[in-house]
Amino acid sequence: MKPASNTRKIALAIVLCSVALLLPIWASLQLSWIQSELHERNDGFGYVHDVLRRAEKTADQVSHAVERINSSHLPPCSAQERDLMRDIDLESDYTQAVGRIANDVIVCSSLDNRELIYLDKPGLVTENGVKEYFHVVLTRNKHPLNVFAKDGVAVITDPDLPLDVSLNDNDISLALLVPSADGQHVLASRGDRIDPRWVRSLPKGEERTYNKDGYMVMAARSSRYDLAVVVASPRERIDRRVRHFALLFVPIGVLCGVSLIWATMYLARLRSSFDNRLKAAVRRREFYVEYQPVVDLKSRRWTGAEALVRWRTDDTTVRPDLFIPLAEERHLIHLITQQVVSLIAEDLPRLLKIDPSFRVAINLSPDDLRMQSTVEMLRSLLALEGVCPGNLEVEATERAFVEDQKISHVLEQIRSLGIQVAIDDFGIGYSSLSRIHSFRFDILKIDKTFVDTIGTEGVARGVMLPIIDIARSLDLHIVAEGVEREEQARFLQAYGIERAQGWLFSAPLSVAALSKELRERSQETVALK
């Protein structure tokens, strides 16, 4: 391996490892951030909803009191009406007192003292005509109360009651306000960091989260009353939460990153150990070839065979569909092909002695078809004594034609040697007809999957016949693969297919078994003559 490409690989590995490590860490930090904001928002809206519910209940009790007093039609400030006021007061947990009001003076109330209570001008008159007086001091301890007046009835409430929720943290601010009023009048608040303008654009019945002046702000506006609740949480709180979550998530992220790197390295080692194992297998000549006979369907004569590679490891034989795709992926297939061709070079003269027209088909992979040395290998086979181009055939999978147009050059050279080229596994679905048209080949191998459909309810005709038509229109010979039943052989023969292979005729055989069978068959033919 060149040092320059080595350095590039190391640099790439370092970059990939860093990404593999940093990416999960970055993701875990993101997750910590998202989780913190989510928790903060949930907590914040918990307070908002709680306060809004209490404020709405207070407003409900105010309007209920006004309605009850006015619908009782008792003489204003009479003893009966004052009894009723006291009843309402006792039943309503958010009202402090109920009374009669005229010209900003409470003339009588559920409070025991009979003095007149003079109020300043109302701080606010709402859209439904409720007059609101704020910071009214009625008690000896000077606790400010709010008075709501409508239709001559006054209801006195404690503005702090709706805010009476337990806050987990002192740095959270909370406010109940009248959003439609100029300056968004604050009815009550805890903490002083809330700017009433934050909720200026909040529509009725909606809730929003804002990022304002270093605070995460959660706000909701009542759909029934002119009320809104705002909670502001300083960003430092969220940062604290992020640190808390990061302590949990980042180690997990690091663990994921390290596992990812470990898994990648493990896979790379597996791959390189596969590479080494395969190269050693080539050196130790662990590959051998079996031949599956190809028969002439009309005479059932064995006219040739497909060479199929096998890998004999210490105790088992590995099937080619397990190692061929991996060898192709690792670009080591050419080593196998070289060994297969050299094994065929040993077997072919022996087979031709029995039947000089016998033809052996060799499977080539896309990589082989890109290499000039493949042509040289085939040329060396042709140089063997008694071997002519008609004794060889090359099979290339349909996939090869799709993957690389460059192979056409090698294919053309193979054809110019007089060796016929077959398209293998035809119909599996890789190529479009137009692509196949642009390559010149001689034989089409119909895949077993299509042969399998013969004899099943009408499907055979639907799938097989167009394939046969395509082959005919391209002037190709046809070989059917995977024939297992006599019925399939007869169907194929009826549709003019010349050659087939499959377990019906023979499984793949060792060269010794094939030679023996060929010899016996040729003796039978001589005897018949």
- Of 40 and 424, nearer to ligand C2E (C-beta) is 424
User: Which range, of 120-128, 157-165, 301-309, 509-517, touches ligand C2E by CB under 6 A?
Assistant: 301-309
User: Which range, of 74-82, 150-158, 200-208, 318-326, touches ligand C2E by CB under 6 A?
Assistant: 318-326
- Amino acid present at 443: I
Q: Which residues pair with 302 in a beta bridge?
A: 295
User: From the list Ca ion, ligand C2E, none, which binds 309 (C-beta under 5 to 8 Å, kind-based)?
Assistant: ligand C2E
For residue 362, the minimal CB distance to ligand C2E (Å) is: 7
Cα(127)–Cα(179) distance, rounded to whole angstroms?
12
Of 130, 160, 125, the residue nearest 145 (C-alpha): 160
- 145, 156 contact by CB (below 8 A): yes
- Of 99 and 366, nearer to ligand C2E (C-beta) is 366
How far is C-alpha 66 from the chain's CA centre? 60
Site string for ligand C2E, 354-393 (x = CB under 6 A): ---------x-x----------------------------
How far is C-alpha 64 from the chain's CA centre? 56
User: From the list ligand C2E, Ca ion, none, which binds 427 (C-beta under 5 to 8 Å, kind-based)?
Assistant: none
Terminal C-alpha separation, the chain: 63
Site string for ligand C2E, 231-270 (x = CB under 6 A): ----------------------------------------
Q: Should residue 127 be labelled a site residue for ligand C2E when binding is judged by CB under 6 A?
A: no
For residue 307, the minimal CB distance to ligand C2E (Å) is: 6
Assign residue 386 a region: left if phi > 0, alpha if psi is -120 to 50, beta otherwise?
Answer: left
User: Which range, of 25-33, 84-92, 111-119, 315-323, touches ligand C2E by CB under 6 A?
Assistant: 315-323
Buried b (16+ CB within 10 A) or exposed e, 229-240: bbbbbbeebbee
- What is the side-by-side strand order in the sheet with 144-150? 117-118, 105-109, 95-102, 153-157, 144-150, 131-137, 124-125
- Of 59 and 307, nearer to ligand C2E (C-beta) is 307
How many Cα atoms sit within 13 Å of 273 on the Cβ side?
6
Subset of 401-440 contacting ligand C2E (CB under 6 A): 424-425
User: From the list ligand C2E, Ca ion, none, which binds 340 (C-beta under 5 to 8 Å, kind-based)?
Assistant: ligand C2E
Cα(119)–Cα(133) distance, rounded to whole angstroms?
8
Site string for Ca ion, 478-507 (x = CB under 5 A): ---x--------------------------
For residue 205, give both structure tokens: 């019945």
Q: Should residue 363 be labelled a site residue for Ca ion when binding is judged by CB under 5 A?
A: yes
Cα(334)–Cα(157) distance, rounded to whole angstroms?
92
User: From the list Ca ion, ligand C2E, none, which binds 460 (C-beta under 5 to 8 Å, kind-based)?
Assistant: none
In residues, how long is the chain?
529
* Rg of the Cα atoms in the chain: 46
Q: Helical H runs in 383-505? A: 398-403, 407-416, 433-437, 448-451, 459-473, 486-494
Q: Should residue 424 be labelled a site residue for Ca ion when binding is judged by CB under 5 A?
A: yes
Cα(348)–Cα(383) distance, rounded to whole angstroms?
12
- Of 355 and 425, nearer to Ca ion (C-beta) is 425
Cα(246)–Cα(29) distance, rounded to whole angstroms?
6
User: From the list ligand C2E, Ca ion, none, which binds 8 (C-beta under 5 to 8 Å, kind-based)?
Assistant: none
Selected from 17, 308, 382, 384, the binder of ligand C2E by CB under 6 A is: 308
Cα(148)–Cα(146) distance, rounded to whole angstroms?
7
Site string for ligand C2E, 490-519 (x = CB under 6 A): -----------xxx----x-----------
User: From the list ligand C2E, Ca ion, none, which binds 484 (C-beta under 5 to 8 Å, kind-based)?
Assistant: ligand C2E
DSSP 332-367: -HHHHHHHHHHHHHHHHHHHHHH-TT-EEEEEE-TT
Subset of 337-356 contacting ligand C2E (CB under 6 A): 340
User: Which range, of 113-121, 314-322, 386-394, 412-420, touches ligand C2E by CB under 6 A?
Assistant: 314-322
User: From the list ligand C2E, Ca ion, none, which binds 500 (C-beta under 5 to 8 Å, kind-based)?
Assistant: none
Site string for Ca ion, 368-407 (x = CB under 5 A): ---------------------------x------------
Cα(289)–Cα(274) distance, rounded to whole angstroms?
21
Q: How many residues bind ligand C2E (CB under 6 A)?
A: 23
Identify the three-state secondary structure at position 190.
strand
For residue 160, give both structure tokens: 């702090």
User: Which range, of 16-24, 270-278, 340-348, 477-485, touches Ca ion by CB under 5 A?
Assistant: 477-485
Identify the three-state secondary structure at position 130.
coil
Cα(229)–Cα(50) distance, rounded to whole angstroms?
9
Site string for ligand C2E, 468-487 (x = CB under 6 A): -------------xxxx---
User: From the list ligand C2E, Ca ion, none, which binds 261 (C-beta under 5 to 8 Å, kind-based)?
Assistant: none
- Of 25 and 369, nearer to ligand C2E (C-beta) is 369
Q: Helical H runs in 136-286? A: 235-283
- Of 178 and 451, nearer to ligand C2E (C-beta) is 451
- Amino acid present at 361: A
Q: Which residues bind Ca ion (CB under 5 A)?
A: 363, 395, 424-425, 481
Binding site for ligand C2E (CB under 6 A): 292, 307-309, 319-321, 324, 333, 340, 363, 365, 424-425, 448, 481-484, 501-503, 508
